[in-house]
Amino acid sequence: MAPTLATAFSRRWWMAVTAVIENLLFSAVLLGWGSLLIMLKSEGFYSYLCQGPENSSSLNFSKANETSTSEEYLEMNGWTICKDQDEMLNLAFTVGSFLLSAITLPMGIVMDKYGPRKLRLLGSACFAFSCLLIAYGASDPNNLSILIFFALALNGFGGMCMTFTSLTLPNMFGDLRSTFIALMIGSYASSAVTFPGIKVIYDLGATFISILTVWAGCACLVFLNCFVNWPLEPFPGPEDMDYTVKIKFSWLGFDHKITGKQFYRQVTTVGRRLSVGNSMKQHHQPPKDLATQEANKLCLSTVDLEVKCKDNVETQSFMKSVFSPIFLLSLITMCVTQLRLIFYMGAMNTILESLTDGDLSKVETMQVVSVYTSIFGVLQLLCLITSPVIGYVMDWKLKDCEDENDKCAKREPGQPRRPSKQIQKITNATRAFIFTNLLLVGFGFTCIVPNLPLQILSFVLHTIVRGFIHSAVGGLYAAVYPSSQFGSLTGMQSLISALFALLQQPLFMAMVGPLDGDPLWVNVGLLVLSMLGFCLPLYLLCHSRHLQRLRDERDEDPKIYVKINDGSKPEAFV
């Protein structure tokens, strides 16, 4: 039996801590593909594509005869490895990694309608099954290597289910929502260290099949945790529901499930009926005890509730949100940033090779690149540490602001009015995006400088920007748009930016082709393109000033602005 929202609220800290751990171990683990690739090749996946000569090289990567015209073949853990094998395994990785982004739009729509519980249960089951598929394929790689395609597809789908559902959990933390969104995204981005960690266990002597079997068992624990603690209903935003109110009217006899604003409307309407009914009857008959009255005369039916609430449904449609300037500019910012970051990840080995000393041999160059690649993998944990910083910026001073429910509150004469929470959210988002884009520009400059040790700073900036940009966009959508549209908007943004990021492939081909492996001009072009990211904070700055100007005019105008019947537009009376 799924817990209620009130029960889930009492367990919110347990759910948040476990969600961070689960994201770290089960979400976007495919981002650590480099380590998984080595293990798959060591287990013989698609090794049959390689036709090793009789004098194959051993695992120590000793150099073959450079004058030989035959292709150099290597062995890893007794299995032959070759270029054809790399291409086939990378094709499987492309399928899985594309699902990490492409599935987000339909997943967001489903989550907004049905809640996160079912998706999270499905995602954990798919992840566990993907681990078992890889383990089964490793038992006979000559005949079962094809299973890696299905396994990585399920792995990407299950990991994104984990990530997406965890982004609704911060709704239970009120004014700290953006901070917790950033924490969830940070744990998602840091999951790239999972496969490198598993590779360490693998190198210590643990068998590949046993590691994956234990990992599948841990995914089953995620399934159990979700089944016990996650509610069936979607998590409403903090502006839509007060989880701390626990009132029980056993005599009202509600014939349906209601939460949030619907609950308050139900109770208010019932209270009005009681008040009106008692005032009309108090002169004609003695009052009855409320508990003895018929429930159907006091309560609203499901149909009555829907009719009463129809006019109070959120006025902003999904299409209006999609074509709003904030969402369109956020698309531009995310597309540019994703292309910049993904190109660097895909071309990192080639870039590092171009920066190494020309006097080094091929083997020594690969060793240097391997060291720097390991450093880059370890630094991915910075996402988990730094992402809450941008979330804290998004939540700055929100507790001191005036909420929409306090607009009609009386003030003492001469008492200054508190800042508007809506304007403060937009101002905080402006600061977050300015800071993130400055770091992105700094990353672009460090990529241009042809200095190998400086690339460690590029690694740090790359990792921080990757966590900051997702956290800032997630916090902006949570602050500006209705909570029921958060998943759909995030999914659409992720899908469009993923499609735009496919441009990194022709950029990479241009770098290794006409540019002879020199990334300078590609980096310069991407640096210029990164300047488009400042369009969003510039618009947010103008928008917040416009809202502040309207608020000041409303305060100074000798008219009294009130809302009639909870309408969306204020009516003015002199």
**Residues 125, 529: Cα–Cα separation, whole Å:** 41
Supply the DSSP string of 427-446, one letter for each residue. HHHHHHHHHHHHHHHHHHHH
Distance between CA 409 and CA 402 in Å, rounded? Answer: 10
Tell me the angle at which helices 382-394 and 421-448 cross, rounded to the nearest 10 degrees. 140
Mean pLDDT of 213-219: 94
Is the pLDDT at 52 greater than 60? The verdict is: no
Instruction: Compute the average pLDDT of residues 350-356.
Output: 81
Residue 205: burial class (beta carbons within 10 Å; 0-12, 13-18, 19+): exposed
- The Cα 185–Cα 187 span in angstroms is 5
CB of 44 within 8 A of CB of 81? no
What CA dihedral angle connects 58, 59, 60 and 66, to 10 degrees?
A: 50
Give the pLDDT mean for 490-515.
82
Asked if pLDDT for residue 540 goes beyond 50, the answer is: yes
Burial grade of 308 (CB within 10 A; 0-12, 13-18, 19 or more): middle
pLDDT at 534: 93
pLDDT of residue 404: 57
Percent of the chain residues topping a pLDDT of 70: 74
Kindly state the average pLDDT of the residues 213-234: 91
The predicted model gives 327-347 an average pLDDT of 88
pLDDT tens-digit readout, 99-112: 777 777 788 778 77
Quote the pLDDT of residue 488: 82
Looking at per-residue confidence, does 442 or 303 come out higher?
442
Cα 518 to Cα 209: distance, rounded to the nearest angstrom: 41
Q: Which two tokens stand for residue 329?
A: 């500019």
Indicate the pairing of strand 79-81 with strand 74-76. Answer: antiparallel
Q: Which residues pair with 573 in a beta bridge?
A: 560
Query: What digits encode the pLDDT tens for the residues 27-43?
Result: 888 877 777 887 888 88
CA distances from 288 to 227, 274, 277, 450 (A): 45, 11, 11, 87
**Whether pLDDT at 157 is above 80:** yes
In sequence order, which residues have a C-beta less than 8 Å from that of residue 19 and are 6 or more positions away?
A: 166, 169, 184, 187
Structure tokens at 40: 């798959």
* Banded model confidence at residue 252, pLDDT cuts 50, 70, 90: very low
Least confident stretch, 137-146, 362-371, 438-447, 459-468: 362-371
Query: Residue 219: pLDDT above 90?
Result: yes
CA atoms of 460 and 467, how far apart (whole Å): 11
Q: Alpha carbon of 568 to those of 162, 323, 386, 479, 490: distances in Å?
A: 36, 20, 38, 18, 25
Whole-number percent of the chain with pLDDT over 90: 19
Cβ neighbours, 10 Å, residue 197: 16
Average pLDDT of span 86-94: 77
Asked if residue 197 has pLDDT above 80, the reply is yes
pLDDT at position 240 is 56
Q: How far apart are CA 517 and CA 153, in angstroms?
A: 32
CA angle 221–225–230, rounded 5-degree value: 150
Average pLDDT score over the chain: 75
Return left, alpha or beta for 414; rule: phi > 0 is left, psi -120 to 50 is alpha, else beta: left
pLDDT at residue 514 in the model: 85
* pLDDT at 299 > cutoff 50: no
* CA neighbor of 133 nearest in space, from 194, 508, 141: 141
H-run or E-run covering 571: strand 571-573
Distance CA 278, CA 524 (A): 77
How does residue 58 score in pLDDT terms, banded at 50, 70 and 90?
Answer: very low
Choose among 10, 231, 189, 119: nearest CA to 487: 119
| Calpha distance 113→280 (Å, rounded) | 43
Q: Which of 55-69, 242-256, 496-510, 524-538 is modeled with the greatest confidence? A: 524-538
pLDDT above 90 for 476: no
- Mean local confidence (pLDDT), 1-7: 81
**For the segment 380-419, what is each residue's pLDDT rounded down to a tens digit?**
888 878 877 887 888 787 777 776 555 455 555 556 677 7
Residue 32: exposure state from Cβ atoms within 10 A (0-12, 13-18, ≥19): buried
SS3 of 461, please?
A: helix
Cα separation of 321 and 487, whole Å?
13
Residue 177, pLDDT above cutoff 90: no
For 56, the token pair is 């194959």
In angstroms and rounded to an integer, the radius of gyration of the C-alpha atoms of the chain is 29
207, 42 contact by CB (below 8 A): no
- The Cα 447–Cα 426 span in angstroms is 32
More confident position, 269 or 31: 31
- Looking at residue 258, its pLDDT comes to 43
Which of 283-297, 390-404, 480-494 bottoms out in mean pLDDT, i.e. has the lowest? 283-297
Nearest to 5 by CA among 355, 277, 316, 258: 258
